[in-house]
Homo-oligomer: A and B are copies of this chain.
Amino acid sequence: MTALTPADAEYAERIRDSFARQSIMATLGARITEVQPGRVTIELPYRADLAQQHGFVHAGVLATVADSACGYAAFSLMPAEAAVLSIEFKINLLSPARGERFVAEGHVVRAGRTITVCQAEVVAVEGERREPVAAMTATMMTVLGRPGLRG
């Protein structure tokens, strides 16, 4: 339905550059592991200092990587000179977030001129076991012509 055609051939490089400037990603230990048109994956290894009170990864940390996965999935289809901003997101926590690492995959549901709707799933991985722990829907905005705002 939504054409997943990048408007800019350098989309993957733009995404990796922008991700490198998201300092929170290094703070949390998250890495971007896959970049395709309309689909981006971010991985987060478990760390004890990312937890809520029961030792599971905090819902907000899952939301942080899922939001970035959604944002870059949207960004992959935007013009070269655009910036991407999150308007809003909603996340459901499906199971306690325990595991060795967490994989957040965001994809574009509908790309419009100004508004792009994305969804992300976060899966906990422990050995062979993969369990969905969160589902997000996010609304992203294409921002053009705002000086100083790129990426």
Is A3 part of the binding interface, using a Cβ–Cβ cutoff of 8 Å?
A: no
Pick from A4-12, A32-40, A63-71 the stretch touching chain B: A63-71
Q: Give chain B nearest CB distance to A146 CB in angstroms.
A: 10
Q: What is the copy number of this chain in the assembly?
A: 4
Among B21, B53, B64, B135, point to the contact of A22 (Cβ < 8 A): B53
- The 8 A CB mask of A82-112 against B (1 = contact, 0 = none) is 0101111111111100000000000001100
Is A80 part of the binding interface, using a Cβ–Cβ cutoff of 8 Å?
A: no
Most buried by B among A18, A50, A92, A94: A92
* Contact A27 B27, CB 8 Å, known A93-B87, A139-B92: yes
